[in-house]
Structure 1
């Protein structure tokens, strides 16, 4: 699907992406390894209202993933939650900005770092989002199942909700 460039449509698509992000708590961050293969891992999503086109993830640094990001900063972030799915592309960087770590610190991060937010291994992965492909549905699970079965048993494509792409 191509992106509709009218201002209201573009804004609506971006809002859909941000709504799906806001409903999710975990994302799969996919990096490229030194051998060129892809490596995905689940990480807790952290956002800032002041940066709608950036996602953050707490991480230990140095680590395999931060080494991968230093070599190949282009990443994919995939999100699945009960009412939608996202495939996000962007460029990642690692920061140890103490003020930012303090601002974004949360109980979930506390579980991973023995020394708390002053643990010397605490860092943030920042993903500057470039584009998103989304699937958004407000249908209950049973309605989605019926649509899926309908698609299997007829020549009608299932209506699984809204689908689109958008630059961020």
Structure 2
């Protein structure tokens, strides 16, 4: 089972339904940069650790499914994690549905990640917008992006998207051998397997 920290209202992870057991009614909440929401030292430490776990594991995952809340037409997109700005960045092209939706301004959006190797499953929410930040484009530009644009960073069809995170529901799994061990242990003892944590972040 997934460990939960505090009781809260039920939450329905529709895009991830069927992948995991019912997440229940318990969440752990931290603020941006892991600042504490409780007077308990132990709870403060746990909150900061969960934020660090999220960014560390996200940095090792290359892509997810991105779309606006209005249309919920999620498409595969490579993301670039930016913990300092509490944001994700995406490189895309003029003429795509996402760019068309954002031409009149930012939109509430969702980015869904499921990566067993990265030991992270997440539904991330925030505001998605077009960005003119050339310095950030220079920073995240790579060979993968270059393969899609003949004109390189100066290609007239290139568009940069910024996703400002507001909150996320996270499933941090043991993965690999740890997962198999927990399943085998459960079969031998009859106890429920301890396969990871479910927590909620606010940015």
TM class by shorter-chain length? 0.7 to 0.9
From 84, 106, 114, the equivalent of 1:50 is 84
Distance in 2 between the 1:8 and 1:40 partners? 35
- Post-superposition shift, 1:3? 2.7
How many correspondences in the alignment? 161
TM-score (norm 2): 0.69
**Does the Cα contact within 8 Å between 1:76 and 1:89 map onto a contact in 2?**
yes
In proportion to residue count, which structure has more strand? 1
From 104, 108, 121, the equivalent of 2:157 is 121
SS at match of 1:164: strand
Q: Do residues 28 (structure 1) and 61 (structure 2) align?
A: no
**Does the Cα contact within 8 Å between 1:17 and 1:132 map onto a contact in 2?**
no
Distance in 2 between the 1:29 and 1:145 partners? 33
From 80, 87, 101, the equivalent of 2:137 is 101
- Report the equivalent of 2:112: 78
Deviations 1:124-149 (A, max 9, x none): 1100011111111234257349639x
SS at match of 2:139: helix
**Does the Cα contact within 8 Å between 1:101 and 1:124 map onto a contact in 2?**
yes
Distance in 2 between the 1:101 and 1:23 partners? 19
Distance in 2 between the 1:48 and 1:142 partners? 29
TM-score (norm 1): 0.81
Deviations 1:15-43 (A, max 9, x none): 121122112011111224xxx54111111
| Unmatched runs of 5 consecutive residues or more in structure 2 | 1-25, 30-36, 39-43
Deviations 1:89-143 (A, max 9, x none): 1101111332221222111110111110000111211000111111112342573
SS at match of 2:80: coil
- Report the equivalent of 1:40: 74
Distance change in 2, residues 1:141/1:42 (3 Å): farther
Distance in 2 between the 1:134 and 1:114 partners? 37
